[in-house]
Amino acid sequence: MNLSIYLFFYSILIMSITGYGLLLQNILKNISYIEFEYNLLGSLLFLIFLSFLTHFFFNHGYVHNLIILKIGIISFIFFFFKKKGEFKKYLNYICLIFGILLFAFLTSKTHDDFPYYHFPYTYYLTQENLIIGVGNLVHAFRTPSSIFYLNSLFYLPIIEYFLFNMGAILIFGFSNLILILKLKDDFNNKRYDFIFYLTLLSFLFINIFFYRIAEHGTDRSAQILIFILFIEVFGLYRRSNVAEQNFTKIFILLGLIVSLKAFYVLYLLILVPIFFHFLKKKLFFNFFKNFYFYIFCFVGVFLILSNIFNSGCIIYPVSISCFSNFEWSTFSDAKASNDWFELWAKAGAGPNHRVDNPENYIKGFNWVSNWIDMYFFNKVSDFMLGLLFLLIIVYFSFHSKNKNNINIKKQNFYIYLVIIILSFEWFYNHPSLRYGGFSLLALIVFIPFAIYISKFVLIKFFKEKIIFLIVLSLVIFVGRNINRINNEIKKYDYNLFTYPYYYLDDVHFRVDKFVDNILLNHQSCIDKNKKSCASFKGISVSKKKNYYILRRNK
């Protein structure tokens, strides 16, 4: 019975989000037309915008979320029957992809940061509207992610909070749909250039290397989208005429990527060569006619406001972005936090170790030798070996003695240069694979490899080999997840039928209980007409208009 309930809500949410994609597709068809699969990603960005906006006024409780869910379901039913023939091919792919992703959805063990702040922050959004200074409660509440705001919309009756991992599933599923349909379109139009092979490599990579949803957190979802972002940016220069839909897709992708993790704001660098290209083509002002350009901007503004209201910083822990005069500001902690994140990323600290003199360790390249010993071997080296094995398989699948001459446009070198710059920044400041390293290292290798292999003359059974590699990656994905589920059954006594949900305990709800106690203490103080209210565990509370303000006692 519990498994049936779980699968019902899994299906109904996919239906609702697809309904929003259909709704946007029909509303925007004469304004900012893009392929339906991108409007599915666009619907996630739109719902994130809606979640940010409404949380300033309401908590994301059952009533709020049921209204949003029902709008999506009604849209799905209406457009399904109105345009059944046009939508049928997409529905088949959606059912197939999310049917396969079901194996990843079923899990007992969540991400290591899930009980620490992913679940508590998402649950906070469902219980309270905006509380100013909430970053003073828990350090990690100072770095909110848009995926928490998206997941908070999935707090529903009966299933309650057991769909707070659904955002990663949706991003993964829609990304797979985009890549599959890109490959199909290129194949039908006989476009076998390096972008075709880069798309294939990206699909194989994310399904083989990112098979475990519990590891996605806020990082891997963004890195999946980064692959598609660069495919789309390279695609801008595929034809002589650049259609508006090309940069519509880029705004959707950048909006999701940047909002998922603060440091991905660096990926806005990709807009520099694009802006110059559009200025040259006199297309710059087309940005201001684009629906998703405004959603992209609004999400950015709301993300900044949420950061400021949480921590007093535009981007925590970048101390220069903090406002020290705000009463709830965490400015005094920002520099130490930034150094700690950098120390951890550079293998200077871990659960069981910490280097002496950390301030000197993180300077310049003092950390490199220790990072090589502690992190490069064996995490990065194993990852690179996995990449090499993947490339060998693809190489021998399409190798030919005969080659074609191809021309690579100079704009593609500019885009590759952006990847190099981002990779240097990654290595110098936060050289951990989870902090953008997976996608950057893969792209650095994939792009020249894709250019090289696109020179080969097409061989016999080309289509069959493409299909075989795609099917093989999905078989590996399913097989690895079945093995994971089997291990969780043995290790955690996971029972798919009686309790298919992920594991929760008191730790997941500790912040919510803390908030309740703080607000109850404050209200009790007000009810007793005390002139000054004592703080609760070092946190003082005040209220202005409809918002509580939390600050730490100095």
260 and 200: one domain? yes
Containing domain of residue 527, as a range?
Answer: 506-552
CA angle centred on 161, ends 159 and 162, rounded to 5° = 65
- C-alpha distance across the termini of the chain, in Å: 52
What is the pLDDT, as a whole number, of residue 530?
64
d(Cα 202, Cα 82) in Å, to the nearest integer?
35
Last residue of a domain, one of 469, 492, 515: 492
For residue 500, say if its preceding peptide bond is cis, omega within 30 degrees of 0: no
CA pseudo-torsion sign 49, 54, 60, 66:
negative
Range of weakest confidence among 10-24, 114-128, 403-417, 461-475: 403-417
Whether 322 is in a domain gets the answer no
Q: Which two tokens stand for residue 511?
A: 């912040």
d(Cα 59, Cα 152) in Å, to the nearest integer?
9
Compute CA distances 352 → 102, 347, 349, 357, whole Å.
Answer: 35, 11, 8, 16
pLDDT, tens digit, 9 for 90 and up, residues 472-524: 999 999 999 999 999 999 999 999 999 999 999 999 999 999 999 998 888 88
141 and 191: one domain? yes
Higher pLDDT, 1 or 143: 143
pLDDT > 70? residue 240: no
d(Cα 102, Cα 104) in Å, to the nearest integer?
5
Last residue of a domain, one of 492, 515, 540: 492
486 and 527: one domain? no
Which burial class, exposed, middle or buried, applies to 7 when counting CB atoms under 10 A from its CB (0-12, 13-18, 19+)? middle
Whether 536 is in a domain gets the answer yes
278 and 226: one domain? yes
540 and 484: one domain? no
- Please compute the mean of the pLDDT values over residues 101-110 and round it to a whole number: 95
Whether 379 is in a domain gets the answer no
CA angle centred on 41, ends 35 and 47, rounded to 5° = 130
pLDDT > 60? residue 242: no
Q: Which two tokens stand for residue 368?
A: 């490199």
541 and 486: one domain? no
Which burial class, exposed, middle or buried, applies to 67 when counting CB atoms under 10 A from its CB (0-12, 13-18, 19+)? exposed
Whether 393 is in a domain gets the answer no
Residue with tokens 């040259």: 280
Strand bridging mode 353-354 / 349-350: antiparallel
Whether 501 is in a domain gets the answer no
d(Cα 367, Cα 363) in Å, to the nearest integer?
8
Last residue of a domain, one of 464, 492, 520: 492
pTM, rounded to two decimals: 0.96
Domain count, the chain: 2
pLDDT, tens digit, 9 for 90 and up, residues 348-396: 998 888 999 999 999 999 999 999 999 999 899 999 999 999 999 999 9
SS3 552: strand
Residue with tokens 């007000």: 526
What is the pLDDT, as a whole number, of residue 464?
96
For residue 378, say if its preceding peptide bond is cis, omega within 30 degrees of 0: yes
d(Cα 370, Cα 366) in Å, to the nearest integer?
8
Whether 216 is in a domain gets the answer yes
Whether 336 is in a domain gets the answer no
121 and 86: one domain? yes
**Among 140, 440, 144, 69, which residue's Cα sits nearest to residue 299?**
144
- b vs e for 204-227, b when ≥16 Cβ sit within 10 Å of the residue's Cβ? bbbbbbbbbbbbbbbbbbbbbbbb
Q: How far is CA 513 from the centre of its chain?
A: 28
d(Cα 48, Cα 170) in Å, to the nearest integer?
13
481 and 523: one domain? no
Contact assessment for residue 492 and residue 503, using Cβ atoms and an 8 Å cutoff: yes
**Among 297, 312, 221, 219, which residue's Cα sits nearest to residue 255?**
297
Q: Which residues contact 57 (CB under 8 A, 6 or more apart)?
A: 129, 130
Whether 183 is in a domain gets the answer yes
**Among 547, 550, 546, which residue's Cα sits nearest to residue 533?**
550
- Please compute the mean of the pLDDT values over residues 268-278 and round it to a whole number: 80
pLDDT, tens digit, 9 for 90 and up, residues 49-73: 999 999 999 999 999 999 999 999 9
What is the pLDDT, as a whole number, of residue 538?
86
137 and 197: one domain? yes
Compute the half-sphere exposure of residue 14: CA atoms within 13 Å on the CB side of its CA.
25
d(Cα 430, Cα 440) in Å, to the nearest integer?
13
43 and 91: one domain? yes
Residue with tokens 């029909």: 26
**Alpha-helix runs per DSSP H in 399-436:** 410-429
Q: How far is CA 228 from the centre of its chain?
A: 12
